[in-house]
């Protein structure tokens, strides 16, 4: 028997409700793009490093082959000759570097010698590559000139040290007639002494003057007649 309650219902019948499928749009983010770019760059860098390493290995192998060929053709006598030449070049360079100007040494001695001083002999010695040692035998008229000369030497900054030695003919006696305690030279002979001066080589370096070449300019040209006359004379 049919169900009368369902047939007499005033609510309309409806079918089963179907769910609608919503299609979501694909979204691309900036971070994703950067990640892809970074990944791609990493792959390229890795490949570049691999190929560059292979290139370096080939270059090194080629250089090793050349080096072995050079070793096989090595001449020991030639090597000793090159080393000897290099040693001489270094010695010459050291000599040039330590070259000094003797004229500067004599100019300093002349500039620091007072008028009352007479140099009777001079000995000049070079102490390695450090100093010049000057030993001069000096004569003067009084002890005061000797003291003054020593003061002048000590006042010169280029002179490193001064030694006054072997002082002769400087005799003193007390004179009670003039003033008590005063000294006077009683010898008529000249006062003589030796002066040892030490001058560093760094203070008198040899400086090469630069020579400036100039073109030859003929201001008065030679005439053809003059040349013909000279040729006839010859």
**H-helix segments, the chain:** 4-7, 30-72, 76-97, 102-111, 143-155, 224-233
Which among 155, 126, 127, 123 is positioned nearest to 138, based on CA atoms? 123
Asked if 200 and 149 count as a contact pair (C-beta separation under 8 A), the reply is no
Q: What is the pTM of this model?
A: 0.46
Pairwise CA distance, residues 24 & 162, whole Å: 104
Which residues are CB-neighbours of 28 under 8 A, at least 6 positions away? none
List, for residues 19-75, the tens digit of each pLDDT value. Answer: 555 554 455 677 888 888 888 899 899 888 989 998 999 999 999 998 888 877 777
- Which pLDDT score, from 0 to 100, does residue 14 have? 57
**Residue 152 tokens, joined:** 């002048």
Which residues of the chain are under the pLDDT cut of 50?
Answer: 1, 24-25, 172-186, 226
- Which pLDDT score, from 0 to 100, does residue 185 have? 45
Which among 148, 144, 187, 145 is positioned nearest to 168, based on CA atoms? 187
Pairwise CA distance, residues 160 & 214, whole Å: 42
Pairwise CA distance, residues 177 & 204, whole Å: 52
Residue in this structure with the two tokens 């203070």, named with its chain if needed: 203
Q: Domain limits of the chain?
A: 29-70, 102-203
């Amino acid at each position: 028997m049919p169900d009368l309650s369902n047939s007499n219902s005033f609510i309309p019948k409806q079918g089963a409700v179907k769910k609608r499928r919503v299609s979501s749009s694909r979204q691309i983010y900036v971070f994703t793009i950067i990640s892809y770019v970074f990944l791609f760059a990493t792959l390229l860098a890795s490949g570049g490093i691999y190929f560059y390493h292979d290139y370096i290995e080939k270059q090194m192998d080629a250089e090793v082959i050349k080096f072995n060929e050079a070793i096989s053709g090595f001449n020991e006598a030639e090597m000793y000759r090159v080393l000897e030449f290099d040693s001489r070049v270094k010695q010459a360079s050291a000599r040039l570097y330590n070259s000094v100007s003797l004229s500067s040494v004599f100019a300093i001695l002349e500039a620091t010698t007072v008028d009352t001083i007479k140099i009777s002999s001079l000995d000049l010695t070079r102490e390695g590559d450090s100093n010049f040692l000057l030993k001069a035998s000096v004569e003067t008229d009084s002890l005061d000139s000797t003291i003054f000369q020593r003061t002048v030497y000590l006042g010169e900054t280029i002179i490193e040290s001064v030694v006054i030695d072997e002082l002769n003919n400087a005799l003193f006696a007390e004179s009670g007639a003039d003033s008590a305690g005063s000294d006077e030279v009683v010898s008529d002979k000249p006062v003589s002494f030796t002066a040892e001066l030490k001058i560093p080589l760094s203070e008198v370096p040899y400086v090469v003057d630069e020579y400036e070449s100039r073109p030859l300019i003929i201001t008065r040209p030679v005439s053809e007649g003059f040349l013909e006359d000279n040729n006839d004379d010859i």
